[in-house]
Amino acid sequence: MHSQINFGYPWAFNYGHLVVAVVFLALLCLAWIRKWHKAVIVVLGLATVWASASFVMVRYGFNMNGRATMPTEAFLRLGAGKVLDMGAGTGRSTLMVLEARPQATVVALDSFGESYVEHFGDRKSGAVVDQGRARLLANLTAAGVAQRASIQPGDMRQMPLESDTFDAVVSAYAIDHLGREGIRKSLSEANRVLKPRGEFLLMVIAKDFWLEFTFGPLLMHAHKVAADFWERSLRDAGFEIVEQGMRPATKYILARKT
Ligand SMILES: C[S@@+](CC[C@H](N)C(=O)[O-])C[C@H]1O[C@@H](n2cnc3c(N)ncnc32)[C@H](O)[C@@H]1O
């Protein structure tokens, strides 16, 4: 059943380093056979090791097309409640919540717009909203959790949702795609739709050692932020910080509506 799940992150993201490793390895063999200068052999050897290690880290460490695991047991500890996923995409974070919290329901919100197309879409294939809905539903159905989820097209900076209605909100690798004003609005919206004392699990890309090592200057999500940017932004939006931590290429913060 699970084999049908396809989160749709690009092939190049997951396997690009493998292609680079093979090219460097081929050059290394050529250099060895043709007895090129020692320095060239050393550089090609190092490049092969870097590309191979990066492939293993991206494919098995970041594992963007695999299941996401809940970074903290403290989120929705009772296992039940109405949860909103802001920027659900193809459902990876929605599935993370539904599988880890079997009594929970999730509203999966996504704009299914330009940013969706950049990550998952095919610009030629017509209505992105319809395509996005179908892909998300297919993944939830394949995982056997579709009956606990609903899909809501919408912009997380101004959500078509009532205030004080969710027990918890999750957002993974989505709010950090916005500019400063978009981030401010989205965090404020997360606060608005949460019930008093509701929980917010925010996961953002973190430029840690592994991200710098694997992607270096190619790093996306370019705006560099201060170390405490997310904590300050959450407090400004009306949250208190409950817990925070790091996983490879990811910072997570569990916050609570004050
Ligand atoms: C990198 S994907 C993350 C998807 C999913 N949360 C995951 O963990 O795989 C970012 C998602 O955020 C969505 N997004 C970006 N800006 C948005 C906005 N203003 N409102 C709603 N969704 C947005 C994109 O459409 C995209 O699906």
The 10s digit of each residue's pLDDT in 228-251 is 999 999 999 999 999 999 999 999
Position 163 scores a pLDDT of: 98
- Average pLDDT of the chain to the nearest whole number: 94
% of the chain exceeding 70 in pLDDT: 94
Burial level of 45, CB count in 10 A (0-12/13-18/19+)? middle
139 CB within 6 A, ligand 1: no
Q: What is the pLDDT of residues 23-41, one digit of tens each?
A: 999 999 999 999 999 999 9
CATH superfamily of 80-257: Vaccinia Virus protein VP39 (3.40.50.150)
Give the model's confidence band at 1: pLDDT under 50 very low, under 70 low, under 90 confident, else very high: very low
Q: What is the pLDDT of residues 129-149, one digit of tens each?
A: 999 999 999 999 999 999 999
Position 225 scores a pLDDT of: 84
Buried b (16+ CB within 10 A) or exposed e, 66-77: eebebbeeebbe
Burial level of 114, CB count in 10 A (0-12/13-18/19+)? exposed
Position 2 scores a pLDDT of: 47
Q: What is the pLDDT of residues 145-179, one digit of tens each?
A: 999 999 999 999 999 999 999 999 999 999 999 99
In sequence order, the β-bridge partners of residue 202 are: 171, 253
65 CB within 6 A, ligand 1: no
Query: Are the beta carbons of 44 and 21 closer than 8 angstroms?
Result: no
pLDDT exceeds cutoff 60 at 3: no
Give the model's confidence band at 50: pLDDT under 50 very low, under 70 low, under 90 confident, else very high: very high
CA of 117 to the centre of ligand 1 (A): 10
Helix (H, G, I), strand (E, B) or coil at 103: strand
Give the model's confidence band at 207: pLDDT under 50 very low, under 70 low, under 90 confident, else very high: confident
Which residues fall within 8 angstroms of residue 40, CB to CB, at 6 or more apart? Answer: 31
* pLDDT, mean of residues 216-220: 67
Backbone angles phi, psi at 211, to 5 degrees: -70, -40
Tell me how far apart the alpha carbons of residues 47 and 213 are, in angstroms, rounded to a whole number: 12
% of the chain exceeding 90 in pLDDT: 88
Return the residue whose CA atom lies nearest to atom 20 of ligand 1.
Answer: 155
Tell me how far apart the alpha carbons of residues 87 and 221 are, in angstroms, rounded to a whole number: 15
Task: Count the residues in the chain.
Answer: 258
CA of 31 to the centre of ligand 1 (A): 45
What is the value of pTM for the model shown?
A: 0.94
Closest residue by Cα to residue 104 from 71, 124, 78, 122: 78
